[in-house]
Amino acid sequence: MTKQTEVEVAGIKFKGGKIFLLLTALSTLGGGAWATFEFYKDYMDMKEIVQNIDTTEINNQQEQIIIKLDEAIAYTRDIKSGLRDDILNIEKQVDRMEDKVRETEQEVREIVANAEERFENKRDSLQNDYDEKANRLSESNTQRMDDLTEKVERDLKDLEDRLNKKLQRALDNPLAN
C-alpha cells in the first residue's frame, strides 16, 4: 500500500482526492473575491464618471434638440398644409376638367345626333328627289312611248292607206303603171 499525502488545514486533515477538492474550492473562493473586487472598482470608477458628468451641457444639448424638433415639426406642418392646399387645388382643377369633359361630351353627342338627323333628312330628301325624278322619267318615257306608238300607228295607217290607194289605183287601171 502506498502512503497518501496528507494536508492539514485549520485542524482538519485532508488525504488524496480531497486535497484537489480543497484546492478547487479555495481557487473558486479566490476567483470570486477577485471578481468582486474588480466589479467594485469598476462601480466606483463609473460612480465617479457619473458624478463628473456635466448635466448643464446635456441639458443645453437637449434644449437644442427640442428646439430643432419643434422647428422640424413646424416645417412638417407647413409642408403638410401646403400639400393639403395643393391637393385641394388639384382636386378642384380635376373636378372642373371633369365638368368640362362632361359638357364637351354632351355637346359632341348633340352635334352627332344633329348630324345624324341632318344626314337622315338629306338622305330621305335625296331618295325622294330620286324617286320623284325616276317617276317623272318613267312617266315621260311612258308618254313618249305612247306618243311614239300613236305616231307609228298613224304613220302606218297613213302608209297603209296610201299603199291601199296605190294598190287600188293599180288594180283599177292595170295599164297605168
Q: Is the pLDDT of residue 4 over 70?
A: no
**110-127 tens-digit pLDDT:** 999 999 999 999 999 999
Task: Report the C-alpha gap between 99 and 106 in whole angstroms.
Answer: 10
Are the C-beta atoms of 7 and 19 separated by less than 8 Å?
yes
Comparing 32 with 55, the larger pLDDT belongs to: 32
Range 44-56 average pLDDT: 77
Specify the pLDDT at position 174.
65
Task: Report the C-alpha gap between 88 and 50 in whole angstroms.
Answer: 54
The average confidence (pLDDT) of the chain is 86
Distances (CA, A) of 74 to 4, 62, 67, 69, 80: 86, 18, 10, 8, 10
Record the pTM: 0.38
Q: Is the pLDDT of residue 109 over 90?
A: yes
Comparing 110 with 169, the larger pLDDT belongs to: 110
Range 38-60 average pLDDT: 80
Q: Give the DSSP H or E segment for 7.
A: strand 6-9
